[in-house]
Structure 1
């Protein structure tokens, strides 16, 4: 993974994580940060535009999920700062760095939103697991552990979204 200027630790810190591990972890954190923000925005899009017989339950579930993603995003960004990095969650950075498929803005039906979100949550979960492996291999167990916690939350949300699709394919 090529590191952008914002991915290199630039702030002084007494955190004794080895320098190479810090650099790798900040790069991973910025990558998953972009993905998390993208999926958060897709979830908000679904929350705002869901229609159909499942409206009320999905509307509430989507709100719960974008709140959870927001909290987890904050944890990832703060970890980058702890390592001396600069998290970049600007719209421009997210648009340039996200590895998540674009969300179709014209989706309205509740179960169509579930299909679209399930695809994106699965992509995010995959990217998080790659981040766990990279940060662990780099020697940063704390960042790997944090991303593991986020991964569990995303997997749980994916399971709940997929439950709405059971028997519909």
Structure 2
């Protein structure tokens, strides 16, 4: 399963990478810093569970990533109340995240 997960995660990365610049530009337009360094991104994301160190089984990898995708999807839903313009931008991202979550759940069956 390693190789199929590797390919799936690569597809996920490529899909979200296309959206990152648009989201960063929106953040800058709201006069907030858009720091894309890995350390600050990980710290500010505030996602759980934390990725375990060392070897991670396929199942554990899917569980961690699924939990994080679900958290992101839920957070996007709350944006509509506070910033409708940003919410519109996030809708495409939410669709993508929800689709990826479905794909991970299918791998866990």
- Of Structure 1 and Structure 2, the greater helix share is in 2
For 2:75 and 2:67, locate their aligned partners in 1 and report how far apart those are by CA, in whole Å.
13
Query: Which structure has the larger Rg?
Result: 1
What pairs up with 1:1-169 in 2 under 5 angstroms? 54-101=1-48, 102-136=50-84, 142-166=85-109
Q: 1:91 to 1:108 in 2, by over 3 A?
A: closer
C-alpha contact (below 8 Å) 2:62/2:104 kept by paired residues: yes
CA RMSD of aligned residues (A): 1.9
Q: 1:107 to 1:57 in 2, by over 3 A?
A: same
1:27 — aligned with what? none
Structure 1, unmatched stretches of 5+, are 1-53, 137-141
C-alpha contact (below 8 Å) 2:76/2:87 kept by paired residues: no
Q: Higher relative contact order by CA 8 Å / sep ≥ 6: 1 or 2?
A: 1
Q: CA deviation at 1:92?
A: 4.2
Q: 1:126 to 1:91 in 2, by over 3 A?
A: same
- Which runs of 4 or more aligned residues in structure 1 lie more than 4 Å from their structure 2 counterparts after TM superposition? none
SS at match of 1:164: helix
Structure 2, unmatched stretches of 5+, are none
Give aligned pairs, total: 108
